[in-house]
Structure 1
Amino acid sequence: MDNPHLPPISRVMTNDTDIAIIGGGLNGPTLALALARSGQRVTLIDSATTQVRKNAGFDGRAYALALTSMRLLRGIGVWDAVADHAQPMLQIKVTDGRAGEGPSPLAMQFDHAEIEEGPMGYMVEDRHLRRALLDAVSDEARITQMNGKTVVGQTVDATGITLAFNKGKPLRAALAVGADGRDSGTANRAGIKRIGWGYAQNALVCAIQHEAPHHGVAHQFFMPPGPLALLPLTGNRSSIVWSESVSNAAAINALPDADYLEVLRPRFGSFLGEISLAGARYTFPLSLSLALEMVAPRVALVGDAAHGVHPIAGQGLNAGMRDVAALAQVIEEAAMRGEEIGNIAMLQRYQQWRRFDNATLALATDSFNRLFSNDNPLMRLARDVGMAAISALPGLRRGFIREAAGLTGELPRLMQGD
């Protein structure tokens, strides 16, 4: 018979780590570093090995980091390692049209000079950002890495969560954070449901070398099958993220490199001169996936595990970085108050902070894609006039610039700058 004067067994169980983060892509290591900075013991878990995750080959992937995401990376001590490889985005030009016909004269144009904080953002290649994060994680004594292990189960009790693996002994933590992507096993095991749908579009992604300089200008060109983003990289190189119908994308991606370029060229014209492929090219399906909750008992979600959106505005990773900065701050403040890490009140504060912004981003990207990915002449006229009106109104234009830089809303401290 249990002794009524003894605490329940769950209260005397000790944790192996304060916070377990499942997923070692970009958001997971960023969160691990932010938490370690505030004194938390963190275990970072990924099914891939460090060698695979640190692969130095250039595969064309790059990210548009908003100014506030750069501040976060600087705050956790990573930015200096990628700064020399980062291309500032000084202007954004948004146009509408059809392939081979050139853009509409009615367009939006945003210039970083209209805000005081500096460039709206930076383009950073995946290989540089990933390596810098992993190097920083390896150098941090408060972070333990578990690579090549897959979480297959999670059990929650009053004071913590126990993770079971495909091999080896279990791990107990006060809180588990799912940074494991749109098909998040962490969310599924916590019983968190999702809503979402496909767009009948695939993204074609590559990098190009070009003859003329890009001058730090990012272009978003809307065409009936879907948008094409042309994003400046260091040197005379740019990253391409190009949406097409599923059947067109499959046919284009199957082409030899020379034919692939022949299809790509008329989609943005000749202003960059001669172009050639730089690195690999690949394709992936486009969809929306939104978790109905960002938290559950002893569980929080960040990044694509909580919200996977259309890349039309390049804000997917930036939204994840905001999750990371907000969750790190909520945890730090809870610890300073002596509050138990991972309790449901703490988790609800995080969800309240981030849920509305993420739902709004999902709705905005979904609406923009539906508005622009068609060839209806009335809708084309309405959106072209709308873009021209925004570009002509300084106050509205400045608001869009600040939004692109990530400077709107309640910013976590790590994103506020010096």
Structure 2
Amino acid sequence: MAGFCMNRLFSLSKQASVTLSLRFNHSPAARHYDIIISGGGMVGFAMACSLGRNDRLKNQKILLLESSNYKELNLSEYNLRVCALNLNSKLLLESLGAWQHIVNARYSPVKKMQIWDACSDAAITFGKADLSEDIAWIVENDLIQDSLMKEVQHENQVDVQYQSKVIHYRLPKHADDSVHVTLEDGSHLTTDLIIGADGYNSGLRQAMKTQYITYDYNQMAVVATLRISESTENVTAWQKFLPSGPIALLPLSSSLSSLVWSTDKKSARDLLQLPPEIFIDRINQAVWNNEDMNYMAQNVSERLFQLLKVCRINSQEENETDTRQLPPSVVGIEGHQAAFPLSFGHSVKYVSPKAVLIGDAAHRVHPLAGQGVNLGFGDVAALSQVINEAIDNGSEAGNYLYLQKYQSNRQLINLTVMAAVHGLHLLYGTTSLPQVLLRSLGLTITDSLSSVKRLITQRASA
């Protein structure tokens, strides 16, 4: 009897040990998704919309991980961060259903663009003289994202998980392995394709161990919503290249414009501390004064301008945007001013097996040409296309050969735009007479050639 009791006690003890072991050492199986998008934002949500609308993926599970919480759009005031969307970005948003939400809310078409040099007044203008054609669309960042979020909600195969911060990626070592993702709350996910839309500090890019080329401009972009004095139709985007960086006024409504003023960090911090009335005076001074004028360069540029004008008249060639206008005066500020740092960044690789980068995770560009989000939306369109090609050819969405095709396509376009923007920054960041003459003559000649300007506009929409 004693032996039976001892055996029984040992058996119960062993069961308890197994139970405790299962309770404390067992981890639940990781949830699996066919595709995970890490990072929301405008580009991440656009990618989710594009995949969710893809009939080729209708039986696949897609997850978007967004680290921030969901918040309702507030239209009581304008957001300080805006985008100058090009034609291809607008077409993408239309195809995703998001543009209709923007139209129902608010946006401002740009029908003319005027860019000039503080050191010579040499200028270039884009757009039809009769303002009959939209060449860009100014939309607030928050409104674009909110419109995409609304559309994602209608895609049944796309799950959105807010307040979900990724703390670790384990990328596959073998072709049959999955990508493993660990979230801050301790949960685990696996996927056959991870898309990194997690910004310029991308954790996925770091996990890919790719070289990241970066350049600090030592500048900040000061942004604000401004009231302008003119009551006429506000459809012109203005940009003046100052030696310290460009200042731009982008139309928001008939009486409001968005300020994007790139300048050195110290000057930017000083501007943020100014009371509204002095801040407004500084803006008007930057836009209107001639203190940086190089009169030798101005004289040469003006003579060339008049000569080219006579040549056009004699050849009966019409310059569609020959009329130059004076910029508006700023009379007030809505809300407050803010600033964000500027830098150049580019990932040497956009892809690795079952992993791909889009948007700021892959590249970051100076805002002087307004191409940042347009490049990101271009990534979305290009990646969607190669995923379609992979599936149509009987492969998987994350096939490495097709991902490499995406990389080749986008790096060719992105690097070309980024090099041009970086070059403009360097060219206009000096008051040296040879460079002032070079850029002044270049602007003047380009402005006289309508065919060249049309080509520039087309390339800017790529």
1:363 is aligned to 419
1:79 is aligned to 99
For residue 51 of structure 2, the aligned residue among 35, 40, 52 is: 35
1:10 is aligned to none
Q: Match of 2:274, as an amino acid?
A: L
RMSD: 2.1
1:69 is aligned to 89
For residue 166 of structure 1, the aligned residue among 184, 190, 199 is: 184
303-312 vs 133-142, greater mean Cα deviation: 133-142
What pairs up with 1:178-217 in 2 under 5 angstroms? 178-212=196-230, 213=232, 215-217=234-236
Q: Match of 1:262, as an amino acid?
A: D
- C-alpha contact 2:66 2:162 (8 A) present in aligned 1: yes
What pairs up with 1:37-52 in 2 under 5 angstroms? 37-39=53-55, 40=57, 41-51=61-71
For residue 263 of structure 2, the aligned residue among 237, 244, 249 is: 244
Return the offset for 1:202. Answer: 1.4
Deviations 1:171-194 (A, max 9, x none): 111111111111101100121220
Aligned partners of 1:16 and 1:235: how far apart in 2? 50
Q: Residue 112 and residue 327 in structure 1: after superposition, are their counterparts in 2 closer, same or farther (change >3 A)?
A: farther
Deviations 1:118-177 (A, max 9, x none): 522200112321211111112221210111011111223324312111114211111111
Q: Residue 143 and residue 126 in structure 1: after superposition, are their counterparts in 2 closer, same or farther (change >3 A)?
A: same
Size of the aligned set, in residue pairs, is 387
Aligned partners of 1:271 and 1:323: how far apart in 2? 34
Aligned partners of 1:20 and 1:252: how far apart in 2? 41
1:109 is aligned to 125
1:340 is aligned to 396
SS in 2 for 1:202: strand
1:311 is aligned to 367
- C-alpha contact 2:345 2:365 (8 A) present in aligned 1: yes
Q: Match of 2:69, as an amino acid?
A: T
Return the offset for 1:254. Answer: 1.5
Aligned partners of 1:115 and 1:257: how far apart in 2? 33
Q: Match of 2:125, as an amino acid?
A: Q
SS in 1 for 2:153: helix
Aligned partners of 1:209 and 1:140: how far apart in 2? 40
- C-alpha contact 1:190 1:296 (8 A) present in aligned 2: yes
- C-alpha contact 1:214 1:272 (8 A) present in aligned 2: no
Aligned partners of 2:327 and 2:169: how far apart in 1? 54
Q: Residue 342 and residue 114 in structure 1: after superposition, are their counterparts in 2 closer, same or farther (change >3 A)?
A: farther
Return the offset for 1:45. Answer: 0.4
- C-alpha contact 2:52 2:152 (8 A) present in aligned 1: no
2:79 is aligned to 59
For residue 331 of structure 2, the aligned residue among 254, 260, 275 is: 275
Q: Percent identity?
A: 31
1:235 is aligned to 254
Aligned partners of 1:86 and 1:24: how far apart in 2? 22
1:226 and 2:282 matched: no
1:20 and 2:20 matched: no
Return the offset for 1:46. Answer: 1.1
SS in 1 for 2:332: strand
- C-alpha contact 2:234 2:255 (8 A) present in aligned 1: no
Q: Residue 36 and residue 109 in structure 1: after superposition, are their counterparts in 2 closer, same or farther (change >3 A)?
A: same
1:374 and 2:405 matched: no
Return the offset for 1:274. Answer: 4.6
Aligned partners of 1:107 and 1:263: how far apart in 2? 22
Return the offset for 1:392. Answer: 0.5
Aligned partners of 1:113 and 1:23: how far apart in 2? 42
1:147 is aligned to 162
Q: Match of 1:42, as an amino acid?
A: I
Aligned partners of 2:41 and 2:330: how far apart in 1? 34
Aligned partners of 1:65 and 1:287: how far apart in 2? 21
Aligned partners of 2:186 and 2:179: how far apart in 1? 17
Return the offset for 1:15. Answer: 7.1
Q: Which runs of 5+ in 1 are unaligned?
A: 1-12, 99-103, 409-418
Aligned partners of 2:278 and 2:241: how far apart in 1? 22
1:321 is aligned to 377
Aligned partners of 2:336 and 2:145: how far apart in 1? 17
SS in 1 for 2:41: coil
Aligned partners of 2:271 and 2:457: how far apart in 1? 34
SS in 2 for 1:279: strand
216-225 vs 263-272, greater mean Cα deviation: 263-272
Aligned partners of 1:115 and 1:17: how far apart in 2? 49
Aligned partners of 2:44 and 2:336: how far apart in 1? 25
1:131 and 2:150 matched: no
Q: Match of 1:30, as an amino acid?
A: A
- C-alpha contact 1:319 1:358 (8 A) present in aligned 2: yes
1:89 is aligned to 110
1:394 and 2:450 matched: yes
Aligned partners of 2:207 and 2:258: how far apart in 1? 36
Which of structures 1 and 2 has the bigger CA Rg? 2
Q: Match of 2:187, as an amino acid?
A: K
Return the offset for 1:74. Answer: 0.3
- C-alpha contact 1:120 1:402 (8 A) present in aligned 2: no
Q: Match of 1:140, as an amino acid?
A: E
Deviations 1:91-112 (A, max 9, x none): 11110116xxxxx442111115
Deviations 1:40-66 (A, max 9, x none): 3321101111127x5656332111000
